[in-house]
Amino acid sequence: MKNKIFALLALGAFVLSAVNVNFAATNGKAKNDNQLLALLPPSDGAMTVDAKRFFSEALPQILSGNQPMLAGILAKFDEIKTRTGIDPKQFQQVAIGVNAFKVSEKDYNFEPLLLARGQFNAAGLVAVAKIASNGKYREEKIGDRTVYVFSAKEIIEQNKSKITNSTVSKILDKLLAGLSNELAMTVYDDKTLALGSLARVREIFESKTRISGEVLGLVSRKPNAIINFGAKVPNGLSQFLDLDNDELGKNLDAIRFLSGSMDVFDGSTAVSFSAKTVNSEQAKGLKEMLDGLQVVGKALLGGAKTPDKKVYAKMVENAKIAQVGNEVMLDLQVPQADLNVIIGEKK
C-alpha cells in the first residue's frame, strides 16, 4: 500500500540504535550524501535526509514558536530510545530508493530500500534489532552475507504498547494497515545498514546497475539541503490520484520528472518543487494552471481577517512560479515569524 514507505521509516526507528556521531563539514557532508545515494539500486524515486540537521536544526527552528509541541515530539523519540534502545536521532545520512508497481487498476504498491549511515558499528545495530525482535526473525544468505528478515507487523505490534502517546499509536495503527510484508536488514559496510524488502536488499548486492543518472541528478540538485527528493513518472501523476477534472489530469499527466527540497536558514524555511514535462508547450500549460491557482488563492484569502489566514495569503502571494524550457519551478520561503503564527502555541 501507499503507506509502505512511511512504514519502513518507522520500522527503521524501532529496530535501529546508534552512538554519538561526529559530522564532517558541509562540503564533505554533501559529498557523502551523494555517495550514499549512488549506492542505491535502480529506483523510480529517491530521497536523501540529513538526519542530524533535521533533528538539530530544522525541527527546533520550525517548532520554536510552540515549545510544548517540540518538547512533546522530542520526548517521544526519547521514550522510544528508553523503551527499546533505539535512537533515530543518531543517524548521519539516510538515502531511500523506491520502486512503484501496479497491483490493481487504481492502486500502486511502493517497494522501498533504505540506507542509513553514521559513525557507529553497523553490526552492533543489527544485534540490537535481533534482541528487540525476541528472536522472531529468520536468516537468508546473499553470497557470504547474512540478511536478517523480521516480521514487520510483529515489530510494530511489539513496540506499540510501549508508546503511550495516543497520536503516535494512531500513526502506528495506520502503518499496520498498510504493511503486510517483511523487513530485511543487513550490514552494507561497517558504518552503513541496508533495510527494505528482501527483494530490494538482494538487489543492492546482486544487481550490477545502480540508480539512474536521471533520478540521481534530480535528487542531487541541492545537495546541501536537509531533504531532497526526485522521481521519474513515466505515465504521469494522475495515475496516483483520483481526479474528476480532466484538464487538471491532463496537466499532471504531462509531468515526467519531479524533484524538490526543504532547508532551513537563519529565520526562515525554504521549500522548492520542480516538474519536468515532455516539451515546453506542456510546461507552459502546467505553469498557466499554477498561475491560475495562485490567482484564485489570492482572491479567496485576500480579505482574510484571522492571523493564520493572513499568513496563508502571504504564502500564496510570495510563491514564485517560473518556467524554463520544459521545466516548471515553484519556490517558497517562509519567515519563522509566519510559521509561528501557523503552528505556534495557541493561547
176: Cβ contacts below 8 Å, ≥ 6 apart: 153, 156, 157
Among 213, 246, 276, the domain boundary falls at: 213
Is the entire prediction scored with pTM above 0.85?
A: no
The per-residue pLDDT string of the chain (347 residues; one tens digit each, 9 = 90 and over) reads 444 444 444 444 444 433 233 333 334 454 445 688 989 999 999 999 998 899 899 999 999 999 999 888 888 777 756 554 556 677 888 999 988 776 666 666 778 898 988 877 788 778 877 877 777 888 999 999 999 988 765 555 555 555 555 554 554 444 444 444 678 889 999 888 898 888 899 999 998 889 999 899 999 888 889 999 999 886 766 555 555 556 666 777 788 899 999 999 988 999 999 999 989 999 999 999 899 999 999 999 888 889 999 999 999 999 999 999 999 999 999 999 999 999 887 66
Q: For residue 174, is it within any domain?
A: yes
Are 189 and 335 within one domain?
no
pLDDT for 304: 84
Half-sphere exposure for 99 (CA within 13 Å, toward CB): 17
Are 243 and 163 within one domain?
no
Q: For residue 264, is it within any domain?
A: yes
DSSP states along 43-108: -SEEEEE-HHHIIIIIHHHHTTT-HHHHHHHHHHHHHHHHHHS--GGG-SEEEEEEEEEEEETTEE
pLDDT for 17: 35
Are 67 and 31 within one domain?
yes
Among 156, 182, 213, the domain boundary falls at: 213
Q: For residue 335, is it within any domain?
A: yes
Both ends of the chain: CA-CA distance in Å?
39
Are 102 and 246 within one domain?
no
Domain, as residue range, for 241: 233-343
| CA atoms 139, 141, 147, 149: torsion sign | negative
Domain total of the chain: 2
Long-range contacts of 138-147 (CB under 8 A, 24+ apart): 140/184, 140/198, 142/186, 142/201, 142/202, 142/205, 142/206, 143/205, 145/186, 145/187, 145/205, 146/186, 147/184, 147/185, 147/186, 147/198, 147/201, 147/202
Residue 303 grid cell: 480579505
Are 40 and 101 within one domain?
yes
Are 88 and 191 within one domain?
yes
Q: For residue 226, is it within any domain?
A: no
